[in-house]
Amino acid sequence: MKVTFLGTSGGAPTSLRGLSGVAVERGSEIIMFDCGEGTQRQMAKAGLNINKIEKILISHVHGDHILGIPGILQTLSLLNREKELVIYGAEGIIEFIKAVRKTIWFNPTFPIFVGQIKEGLVCTEKEYSIYTTCAEHVLPSFGYAIVEHVRPGKFYPERARELGVPEGPLWSKLQRGEDVMLSNGKIIMSNEIVGSSRPGRKIVYTGDTRPSKSIIKLATNADLLIHDSNYDEDYVEMAAEKGHSTASQAAQIAVEANVKKLILTHFSPRYESTDLMLLHAKVIFKNAIIAEDLMSIEIPFQKNEVM
């Protein structure tokens, strides 16, 4: 799983930072968190295939989070895409996509599903589920979590052979957690050959938000928390007024949620340097970094157990 930051500025782009957009690559698909103006150009710079986008998860309908969608829809049609594109978002997302389709001339070559979300489970796929929680912004807004399903434990073929289990269907049953009987009547327990189940990975994206207990709950034990950090500590009151967080507040959320890594993003264009933000965050949560446009980070699985 690889996470690429396509835009890390909030409100307006700067010469170094584009508007909100994060691409999560899982196998052959891309899941987007928000889609600000210029997203598809940033994807081209990052070497990401726009046709691999399967889901776009919109936190809220402020322009800096959604105005990249029209261009992506038109480009996908020019590419003669056939596979359905799924867009989830907060209140207003359905009306926005309807307006795009009504006012911008293009003929979609693919079905577009648009869903207005509520707090809780958004969807479940074969290998992961997506959840949301209400964020605290100045209009309806949501944070998202991509949570991979628990994976079966590691299979140890050498151990299977030692116990006399022939390679084939019995191995598959053991891998699925089933106990099997050999031709001589001997019962082989799955846990003799397969290690304990292994947790999947968890990525949480807050969108724009004040410090929020609901975000802490959503982000608990996440491998990666991507958190709004619009202001530094000189603008705590402004952050609260405008529905954003400071770097220190985001770091405190990371501590309370017990996440493994924190990435700060969505910086106000007023800041030419984010060094002070990072310094303040690291005082509270050491494993914090600043997002930069086109920065990528791999999210590894937890290490396998030794049997």
- Residues labelled catalytic: 64
3-class DSSP state of 221:
coil
Q: What is the H or E stretch that residue 225 is in?
A: strand 224-228
- Distance, CA of 137 to CA of 120 (rounded, Å): 18
CB of 72 within 8 A of CB of 38?
no
- How many CB atoms within 10 Å of residue 89? 27
- Distance, CA of 116 to CA of 114 (rounded, Å): 7
Q: Which residue has the tokens 């596979």?
A: 83
- Distance, CA of 247 to CA of 232 (rounded, Å): 6
Residues 6+ away with beta carbon under 8 Å from 274: 247, 264, 267, 290
Residues 6+ away with beta carbon under 8 Å from 179: 187, 188, 189, 190
